[in-house]
């Protein structure tokens, strides 16, 4: 069909068509380049840790490709549906194989896949790296609450169901988490971190993150863990290092009972909703 007939300019029809395709394809790419950092978020958010931002960028990259490929496929389907709807009883050409075309759509996805894999590995290695940390928090999940202890300090926070315990951590500091479970599988998930990890019984799961923004962020158990799974919340409060030291000191300087009441107060400051709460425990360690 496309005979390589030379046009007056000495360019084949195929080349001309290719140029046109390039011009059309260049438009969205140029628009993308011009818009710079205003690449759409595709529903996700950048989060508040260093690696959550890398994950977000990876998400954007995947999404751009998905939109292009998905758009292409949907366009091809819609075109066929409109253009080739039945117009009589004639039998169309019974073409069954087109080896070059088939090879193209085998090889190109391979290349895309390896590109995606390379990007994945870069982000993954960054996210799962284990840099030296000054702050360590032992996180223990149980049915149906969380216990945050700070090794080397006298600080501990426990809370169950809707009385969300609060994990206090300093900003711009690498925080190391030792995640364990006392009973069944739980999921440690903080949406603003773009990250989750299972708390497995019998396994010590470790990871590190670095929050770059202060604030209080919601966390929740994501893996079904029994009756009150839906109510197994916690919060992560990212504070300045000074505030963090003050907070830690509140456990060491005061007596255990006053520490407990401080933590209790912190817990009750969150509005208790109309969902019935079972048990609330909260105390400073020792």
Partner 1 sequence: MTDVLERPLTPEHSPQEEHGPSGLLKWLTTTDHKIIGLSYTVTSVIMMVIGGALAEMIRFQLTTPNGTLVSLAQYNELFTMHGSVMIYLFAGPFAFGALANILVPIQIGAPDMAFPRLNALSYWLYLMGSITMLSGFFTAGGAANFGWVAYAPLSNSTYTPGAGADLWIGGLLLTGFSAIFTGVNLVATIFYLRAPGMTMFRMPIFTWNMLVTAILILLAFPVLTAGLIMLYADRHFGTHIFSVAGGGVPVLWQHIFWFWGHPEVYILALPFFGMVTEILAVFSRKPVFGYKGMVFATLSIGALSLGVWAHHMFTTGVVLLPFFSIMSLLIAVPTGIKIFNWIGTIWRGQIWFSTAMLMAIGFVITFLIGGLTGVYLASPPLDFFTHDTYFVVAHFHSVVMALVLGGMGALYYWGPKITGYLLNETIGKIQFWFLFIGIQVFTIPMYMLGLDGMPRRMAVYPHDPQWQTLNDISTAGAVLIGLSTVLFVINIVVSWKKYPAGDNPWDGQTLEWFTTSPPPHHNFYRLPQIRSERPTWDYNHPDHRALAHGVPETPRESEQVPS
Per CB under 8 A, does 116 bind partner 1?
yes
Q: Which stretch binds partner 1 (CB under 8 A): 10-18, 29-37, 92-100, 240-248?
A: 92-100
CB of 95 to partner 1, least distance (A): 5
Q: Give the one residue of 11, 29, 35, 102 binding partner 1; rule: CB under 8 A.
A: 102
CB of 259 to partner 1, least distance (A): 26
Going from the C-alpha of 135 to that of each of 60, 146, 172, the distances in angstroms are 31, 18, 11
Per CB under 8 A, does 166 bind partner 1?
no
Q: How far apart are CA 114 and CA 107, in angstroms?
A: 11
Residue with Cβ nearer partner 1 (225 or 260): 225
Phi-psi region of 194 (alpha: psi -120 to 50; beta: other; left: phi over 0): left
CB of 19 to partner 1, least distance (A): 24
| Residue ranges in 176-235 that form contacts with partner 1 under rule CB under 8 A | 183-185, 187, 189, 191, 194-198, 200-203, 205-207, 218, 220-231, 233
Per CB under 8 A, does 274 bind partner 1?
yes
Contact predicate 141/199, CB 8 Å: yes
Phi and psi torsions of 148, nearest 5°:
-110, 120
| Residue ranges in 2-41 that form contacts with partner 1 under rule CB under 8 A | none
Per CB under 8 A, does 129 bind partner 1?
no
Q: How far apart are CA 164 and CA 156, in angstroms?
A: 14
Q: Give the one residue of 7, 15, 35, 80 binding partner 1; rule: CB under 8 A.
A: 80
Residue among 283, 272, 47 at smallest CA distance from 164: 272
Going from the C-alpha of 157 to that of each of 24, 194, 235, 249, 281, the distances in angstroms are 58, 23, 11, 14, 9
| Residue ranges in 236-255 that form contacts with partner 1 under rule CB under 8 A | none
Per CB under 8 A, does 99 bind partner 1?
yes
Residue with Cβ nearer partner 1 (32 or 74): 74
Q: Name the DSSP letter for residue 37.
A: T
Contact predicate 193/155, CB 8 Å: no
Per CB under 8 A, does 84 bind partner 1?
yes
């Amino acid at each position: 069909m496309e005979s390589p007939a030379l046009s007056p300019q000495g360019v084949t029809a195929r080349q001309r068509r290719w140029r046109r395709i390039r011009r059309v394809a260049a438009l969205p790419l140029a628009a993308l380049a011009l818009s710079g950092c205003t690449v759409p978020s595709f529903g996700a958010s950048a989060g508040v840790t260093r690696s959550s931002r890398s994950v977000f960028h990876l998400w954007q990259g995947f999404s751009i490709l998905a939109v292009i490929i998905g758009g292409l496929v949907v366009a091809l389907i819609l075109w066929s549906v409109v253009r080739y709807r039945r117009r009589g009883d004639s039998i169309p050409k019974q073409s069954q194989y087109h080896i070059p075309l088939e090879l193209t759509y085998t090889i190109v996805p391979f290349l895309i896949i390896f590109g995606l894999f390379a990007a994945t590995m870069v982000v993954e290695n960054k996210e799962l790296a284990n840099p030296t940390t000054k702050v360590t928090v032992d996180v223990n999940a149980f049915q149906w609450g969380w216990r945050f202890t700070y090794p080397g300090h006298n600080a501990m926070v426990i809370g169950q169901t809707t009385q969300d315990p609060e994990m206090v951590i300093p900003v711009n500091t690498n925080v190391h988490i030792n995640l364990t479970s006392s009973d069944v599988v739980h999921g440690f998930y903080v949406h603003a971190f773009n990250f989750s990890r299972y708390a497995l019984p019998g396994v010590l799961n470790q990871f590190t993150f670095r929050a770059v923004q202060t604030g209080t962020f919601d966390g929740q158990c994501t893996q079904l863990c029994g009756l009150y799974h839906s109510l197994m919340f916690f919060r992560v409060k990212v504070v300045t290092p000074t505030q963090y030291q003050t907070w830690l000191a509140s456990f060491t300087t005061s007596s255990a009972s006053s520490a407990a009441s401080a933590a209790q107060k912190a817990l009750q400051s969150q509005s208790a909703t109309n969902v019935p709460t079972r048990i609330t425990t909260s105390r400073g360690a020792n």
